[in-house]
Structure 1
Amino acid sequence: MNNEKGFVTPVTLILSLLLFSLLFYQVQQYTVEKRFLKEQEEILTMDALMQMGVVDIIDIIGAFDTPPQTLTGQLRYVKGNVHYVIAPGTEERLSVKLECVTNNGRKRNIEIFYDIISSDIIDWIET
């Protein structure tokens, strides 16, 4: 039997430490990617809520023969709610303020200016 003078134990410890470090790094990367994916999903949900809310509010405005005076309401969707306030701006313009809230509690406010004559959105401001 050869006397290796304690060579195996330090090498084993160093290799174990390297493998453990690699495993720890991979777990950290997985956690970061998982959080990033959840954040992206929430952003896409919020964008979808805003788009659906704007389309439905334009339909609500189009249902009136004359431009509505101040009108408030709430639109409920599967992934969240949209609270809106429609207020007259000028004779041919309406100001629509939206607050979009996802089921997870994330909020985003936007204000759009809608031209009644051309039935088009003039400006879109996110706050």
Structure 2
Amino acid sequence: MNNQKGVVFPMVLIIASIFIMLMILMIDQFIIDKRFYKEVEESLVADHLVHLAVKEVTAGWEEETPEIFQGDISYPNGLVRYSLMKQDGRYAFIEFSSTTANDRVGRIIIQYDKEAGMVVGWIEKQVG
């Protein structure tokens, strides 16, 4: 027993240090992934709000074509503002801006064909 000369204790320290470093790296990666998934979720919610508003606004478009066209639609996960940008003959351009409950913003402009009754163009705008 007196002949070991202190080999076990340094080996345990080295193995424990490696294990602790690996645990810290795994926790750090978990936190980064969690932030990323939360950001993706917010982006998808903002996009979904815009899709809902486009369907709702264009569903009532066939009855009549108003000259001044703007408003707000409130959903449980956020709010969507829309406004008619311009009309030229057959087409109308409508801008939609969604804001989620956590202040994530999504903006698009659609080109709506009034005669066909459908969206023919979809332009996503970058929000800085």
TM-score normalised to structure 2 length: 0.89
Residue type matched to 1:73 in 2?
A: G
Instruction: State the match for 1:71 in structure 2.
Output: 69
**Greater Cα shift, 70-79 or 4-13:** 4-13
Whichever residue aligns with residue 118 of structure 1, its letter is A
**Cα distance in 2 for residues equivalent to 1:123 and 1:43:** 21
The CA deviation string for residues 81-118 of structure 1, in whole angstroms up to 9 with x for no partner, is: 11000244211111101111111001111111111111
Q: Percent identity?
A: 30
| Separation in structure 2 between the aligned mates of residue 45 and residue 9 of structure 1, nearest angstrom | 54
Match of 1:50 in 2: 50
Structure 1 partner of 2:41 = 41
Gaps of 5+ in 2: none
Gaps of 5+ in 1: none
Query: What letter corresponds to residue 114 of structure 2 in structure 1?
Result: I
TM alignment of 1:9-48, pairs within 5 A? 9-48=9-48
Matched, 1:121 2:119: yes
Kindly tell me the number of residue pairs found equivalent between the two proteins. 125
Superposed displacement of residue 70, structure 1: 2.3
Q: Look up the equivalent residue of 1:98 and give its one-letter code.
A: F
CA distance in 2, matches of 1:72, 1:50: 14
- 8 Å CA contact 2:43–2:106 kept in 1: the answer is no
Mapped contact 2:82–2:97 kept (Cα < 8 A) = yes
Once superposed, what is the RMSD of the aligned Cα atoms? 1.4
CA distance in 1, matches of 2:10, 2:85: 76
Matching of residues 78-93 of structure 1 within 5 Å: 78-93=76-91
Deviation per CA, 1:2-25: give whole Å up to 9, x if none. 321121221111011011011111
Question: Which moved further from structure 2: 84-93 or 116-125?
Answer: 84-93
Report the TM-score when normalising by structure 1.
0.90
* CA shift digits 1:35-61 (9 cap, x unpaired): 122122212212210110100110232
